[in-house]
């Protein structure tokens, strides 16, 4: 019996022994807790260091990115400035080249182009206002000739240097004395053989059929208000030269309007514009449509347009 009890006692430790065992376990738990804290602290430090590295790399990347942006911006501005400088140089070069080309064309026209003369012998019968208008028409006429693909050899005859018209041309037309045209005090009668002359007047019976390079076309230097009936016709007839009118009757028709106004009298620059357009296109319909203002009360007839298309 006693042996059994002794065996049981050995298998079940005493209260004192259990206390020692609990203390050991508690100590082990403390040691484990310390190790965990150490590991956790080390992990936090590593995360902090990693975070700082990331931030440093991010700042470096942003600085490089900003530097690249600034470099691209500077390069873009530099290219833009280069383009502007190039355009400025080309523009100046283009103007010089175009001016040289225009001058060459006008010089060629003076040598072998069709001839057109503005007869200024009738300027004495005009008022100051009308003379100023005529000076403006001469400026526009010359401007059209400069732009023309096939310019005319232009003449201003009976242009007296002491005349009001001469002074008005200088006052109103910049560079008038450098115009590439022949300006003379002589009369066209003394300059050209009469058989080469065609005086353009709205009162002529025959219509102009073509622009012939062997002829000299004379325009009477008069403005609308000062044109007396058959003034240019009478002058041409007295001198015994051929006359012709623009083919307005053949290619145009009267357009109904409130004032019932219809006029075939055109300014010298308008007549010249018609001759230039005809020379470029070979079409009277196109030439008259371009040169006859709608206010004159005429329009190109549909029949004339159909004939041109054919």
For the stretch 267-284, pLDDT in tens is 999 999 999 999 999 999
Indicate whether 3 pLDDT > 70: no
Instruction: Calculate the CA 60 to chain-centre distance.
Output: 50
pLDDT value for 5: 42
Distance (Å, whole) CA 36 – CA 222:
116
Distance (Å, whole) CA 186 – CA 262:
36
Q: Which residue, chain included where needed, has tokens 């075939």? A: 264
pLDDT value for 268: 94
Band (219; pLDDT cuts 50, 70, 90):
very high
257: left (phi over 0), alpha (psi -120 to 50) or beta: beta
pLDDT value for 28: 59
What average pLDDT does this structure show over 166-186? 93
What average pLDDT does this structure show over 161-184? 93
pLDDT value for 26: 60
pLDDT value for 56: 77
What average pLDDT does this structure show over 123-140? 92
Band (180; pLDDT cuts 50, 70, 90):
very high
pLDDT value for 7: 41
Which residues, 6 or more positions from 251, have their beta carbon under 8 angstroms from its beta carbon? 284, 285, 288, 300, 301, 304
For the stretch 8-63, pLDDT in tens is 444 444 444 555 455 565 655 555 555 555 555 555 666 666 677 777 777 777 78
For the stretch 55-113, pLDDT in tens is 777 777 778 878 877 888 888 788 777 776 655 655 566 788 888 888 899 999 888 88
pLDDT value for 146: 93
pTM surpassing 0.85? no
Indicate whether 158 pLDDT > 90: yes
Structure tokens at 256: 């109904």
Domains and CATH numbers, the chain: 113-309 (3.40.1280.30)
% of the chain residues with pLDDT over 70? 76
Band (204; pLDDT cuts 50, 70, 90):
very high
| Residue 280 host element (H or E) | helix 268-281
Structure tokens at 204: 């002529």
């Amino acid at each position: 019996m006693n042996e059994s009890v002794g065996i049981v006692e050995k298998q079940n430790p005493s209260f004192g022994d259990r206390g020692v065992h609990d203390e050991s376990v508690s100590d082990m738990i403390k040691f484990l807790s310390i190790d965990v804290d150490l590991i956790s602290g080390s992990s936090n430090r590593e995360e902090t260091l990693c975070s700082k590295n990331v931030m440093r790399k991010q700042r470096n990347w942003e600085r490089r990115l900003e530097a690249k942006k600034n470099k691209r911006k500077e390069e873009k501005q530099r290219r833009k400035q280069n383009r502007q400088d190039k355009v400025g140089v080309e523009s100046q070069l283009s103007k010089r080249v175009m001016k040289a080309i225009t001058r060459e064309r006008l010089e060629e026209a003076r040598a072998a182009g069709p001839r057109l003369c503005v007869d200024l012998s009738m300027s004495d019968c005009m008022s100051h206002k009308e003379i100023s208008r005529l000076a403006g028409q001469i400026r526009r006429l010359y401007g059209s000739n400069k732009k023309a693909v096939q310019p005319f050899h232009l003449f201003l005859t009976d242009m007296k240097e002491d005349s009001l018209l001469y002074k008005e041309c200088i006052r109103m037309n910049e560079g008038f004395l450098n115009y590439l045209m022949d300006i003379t005090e002589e009369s066209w009668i003394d300059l050209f053989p009469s058989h080469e002359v065609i005086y353009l007047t709205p009162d002529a019976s025959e219509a102009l059929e073509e622009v012939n390079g062997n002829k000299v076309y004379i325009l009477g230097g008069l403005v609308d208000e000062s044109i007396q009936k058959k003034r240019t016709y009478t002058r041409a007839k007295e001198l015994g030269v051929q006359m012709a009118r623009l083919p307005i009757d053949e290619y145009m028709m009267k357009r109904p309007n409130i004032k019932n106004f219809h006029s075939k009298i055109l300014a010298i620059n308008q007549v010249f514009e018609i001759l230039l357009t005809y020379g470029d296109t070979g079409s009277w319909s196109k030439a008259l449509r371009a040169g006859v203002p709608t206010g004159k009360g005429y329009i190109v007839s549909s029949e004339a347009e159909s004939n041109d298309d054919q």
